[in-house]
Structure 1
């Protein structure tokens, strides 16, 4: 499949919503170690709202830009903590490069992902190594941009997820430079950043929808 169409993205988001429900307690437990202890709960509230919004969304006539604006607005409006504004910004910007189209090629998909990651970076003002979700997202963005003319999309997405997982693991020995974990100093060492974990798990839904 070269075209990422409306049906594909709808399925991706539905898979994200069920992943968040399944992993809610795990993501919250990661956040209990170094944050407010509500990451999984907040994401669950947000994606339940997204699913609810789907009931009124006109999938037959709307486009990818309006779809992801709606997803982003739902997350911004419903999710507390840091993850709401960050993931909300990601999805709102994610749809922009689609330019009101109903399907896109892989090259545009990569551009959409990159635009979303840049929105998170702008909003969170974090860099690689700050023990945030960007430790998973930035290496993925770089890799995807090298692979945007790839003919084997499935393999490219699998490799991207492996890079994101490695990025999430890399947050464990770090001292946090952003967010609530920052106040813990060295006590944050040995704990994985929950945002880096949820971001690779959310991205994996794009692969699962492809299969």
Structure 2
């Protein structure tokens, strides 16, 4: 898989490389109670905010609605996809309920038959801690991360891939000697808001501004 150039040296240069590599230029508007994010859509598969999360669709033209052909939601507990196009059936609805706590900031696969754009919205006042399940999660970092309300807490990011919809391929983000995967993601988020990514964490964890301390060290034997 193609590797993203490590985020180092110059923030300006790095961000320009990332935006160029993805051909992804989101527009983020802050309203009184919501963030509104306008995202470009490519023909084919797009990994965008899930409407089964805190995100919702603000605006989708009739043409783009007609061009939306499929959508699938990833369930981290079962490690499987369910068809989300047109809503869930009873079986998939039950599976979604089992994963609900891990899908508050999730991404979802959408297949469009042409290029275009779509507007998503998210309320500003969301709980200041969210969960990721052990293993893989499809995830969209919201504006709350670079606005200071959320962080990676006690999550240990093992692998991160970003989906380049214009090229229909995964790009891997790698840690450097000076920056962790979490630090690199947070640096770039304002320029890649709404872009879906696959994140693998070593254990079930909590996203929050501060690292979550679960228990003190054990007493020696």
The question of a shared fold, defined as TM-score above 0.5 by the shorter chain, is answered with: no
Q: Which has the higher contact order (CA 8 A, sep 6+)?
A: 2
Task: Report the structure number with the largest CA radius of gyration.
Answer: 2
Instruction: Please identify which structure carries the higher strand content.
Output: 2
TM-score (norm 1): 0.30
TM-score (norm 2): 0.29
Instruction: Please identify which structure carries the higher helix content.
Output: 1
